[in-house]
Amino acid sequence: MRFFSMRKELVVPTLVSVLFNFMIYLYAPLLPIYFKEAGISDQMLGIVFACFPLMLVLFSPVVGALADHVGRKRIIYAGIVFQAIAAVLYIWMPTVPMIMLARFLAAVGWAGVGLITLAKVEDHLSKEERGSKAGVFLSFSYIGFLIAPPIGAYLAQLVSIRFTLMLSLFGMLILLVWLTLWKSHHKPVIEKRDFNPWRSIKIFLSHKKLRAMAILGAAMNSKNPVFQIFLPLLLLQMGYTYAAVGMVFFLDGFSYLFQGVAGKIVDKVGSAKVVIISVLFASSAFTLMGFADSIVFLCLLVVFQALASAFWNISAWTLMSETGEQEGIEGVVVGSYSSLARIGYFILSVASGFIAVAYGMRILFVIAGGVSLLALALTARTLASPE
């Protein structure tokens, strides 16, 4: 594949992303169950999970700005360290204060690796190939997301969820040792203003289409806590086991492997058109998930929603990276978007537990899907307009 025949600068961050996602998703789909077994209520469960997007809202712009100035590799390395510490806290003391601290650290870790490996790849791509090759990167990065959930679910059923956390921690430590061989040639230049998240966000919001993407991204990310927290619990409520949870997350991850194909379509059709169509399909399917009464129908909707979301993911990043590359602010764009988009994630994370207790879990799918459709109606004209 031409993507891997290019340069080490593309291969290394891709491998890091694959391995990092694998270690995270060995246990991530099972965390709601793990926390419930530790005695955390549904209301508190939403608040605990809200710590993750809250930290992304506050610190993603800082991570992006620092990556532009101190080098991508240093930020990626630090991100893995934070994620490893989070796993230690999950294992050591699954109490509300420790879990909240772990969620904060995990968010910084994800921003440092998940966002900055993408920025590292896009540093070396031209405008003409950005969609297709970034799509290949995202497809490969989702291999870890794809294969880890069923493996983690099997090991949790066989041994325990805590065992999957220990295995993930061991993998993170190996990844850290390997990354010491990846030398950084970027001379670190840290400025005081890099630690001001509002500066990066202000730059991001000065662009009309990026403002529209912030609104749409916040709405689309409101689906994440519903899927990650309450879909596993809904499956257990329907009488299924950990294996069913792993299978559903496998299907979700499998669909994202088509981002390479999606990237080629984005390059031909245009990122804005793909953004609009993919959001329409993904949000509609997510809304219908609230009415699924069998695992077969639910799995079909998960696959359709994930395929549309894969197209949304690559088209959104392609659209935004074009502006970032033109202005020389790719780190700022990646970090600021992640911050603003996670506002929707944060709000619904906080509210979801209370809504689930009052009205049931299924209504959450309808709310999240409806919010995304409303955001699309508000932003479609701006996204479709010429520069």
pLDDT at 1: 47
Residue 200 in domain: yes
Helix axes 295-327, 130-158, angle to 10 degrees: 140
Token digits of residue 243: 């294996």
C-alpha span between 3 and 124 (Å, rounded):
11
Average pLDDT over residues 314-343: 78
Distance between CA atoms of residues 365 and 264, nearest Å? 30
For residues 364 and 226, the answer to whether their CB atoms sit within 8 Å is: yes
Please tell me which residue, 313 or 43, carries the higher pLDDT value: 313
The answer to whether residue 194 scores a pLDDT higher than 70 is no
Residues 24-30 have a mean pLDDT of 90
Tell me the two tokens of residue 103. Answer: 């969620």
In a domain? residue 1: no
Question: Whole domain around residue 158: which residue ranges?
Answer: 8-185+192-384
Find the DSSP H helices in the chain.
8-25, 31-37, 42-70, 72-92, 96-110, 116-122, 130-158, 161-179, 197-205, 208-221, 223-225, 231-237, 242-255, 259-269, 271-289, 295-327, 330-359, 362-384
Tell me if 272 is assigned to some domain. yes
Q: Is the pLDDT of residue 236 over 80?
A: yes
Residue 4's pLDDT is: 45
Contacts of 258 (CB under 8 A, 6+ apart): 139, 307, 310
User: In whole angstroms, what is the distance from residue 245 CA to residue 241 CA?
Assistant: 7
**Distance between CA atoms of 156 and 165, rounded to whole angstroms?**
10
Domain count, the chain: 1
More confident site: 217 or 228: 217
pLDDT in tens, 265-307: 888 888 889 999 999 999 999 999 999 988 899 999 999 999 9
Q: Which candidate, 331, 323, 340, places its Cα nearest to that of 115?
A: 331
Query: Angle, nearest 10°, between helix axes 271-289 and 208-221?
Result: 20
CATH code, 211: 1.20.1250.20
In a domain, 3, yes or no: no
- Say whether pTM exceeds 0.95: no
Residue 134 counted as domain residue? yes
78-112 confidence digits (pLDDT tens) = 899 999 999 999 998 788 889 999 999 999 898 88
Please choose, from the candidates 218, 252, 230, 223, the residue with its C-alpha nearest in 3D space to the C-alpha of residue 344.
Answer: 218
* Top-confidence residue, 370 or 9: 370
Tokens of 91: 């294992």
Give yes or no for a contact between 23 and 144, defined as CB atoms under 8 angstroms apart.
yes
- Give yes or no for residue 198 having a pLDDT over 60: yes
* Any domain includes 288: yes
pLDDT at 228 (0 to 100): 85
**Residue-level pLDDT at 5:** 47
Asked whether the predicted pLDDT for residue 261 surpasses 70, the reply is: yes
Cβ contacts of residue 64 below 8 Å, gap of 6+?
111, 115, 116, 119, 200, 331, 332, 333, 334, 335, 336, 338
Answer whether 122's CB lies under 8 Å from 337's CB: no
How far apart, in whole angstroms, are the C-alpha atoms of residue 30 and residue 243? 11
- Percentage of the chain surpassing pLDDT 90? 33
pLDDT of residue 385: 82
Measure the CA dihedral 156/158/159/163, to 10°: -40
Question: What's the rounded mean pLDDT across residues 210-221?
Answer: 93
What interhelical angle do 130-158 and 242-255 show, nearest 10? 170
Q: Is residue 2 part of a domain?
A: no
| DSSP designation for 226 | I
Q: What is the pLDDT of residue 375?
A: 96
Q: Determine the average pLDDT of the residues in 30-49.
A: 86
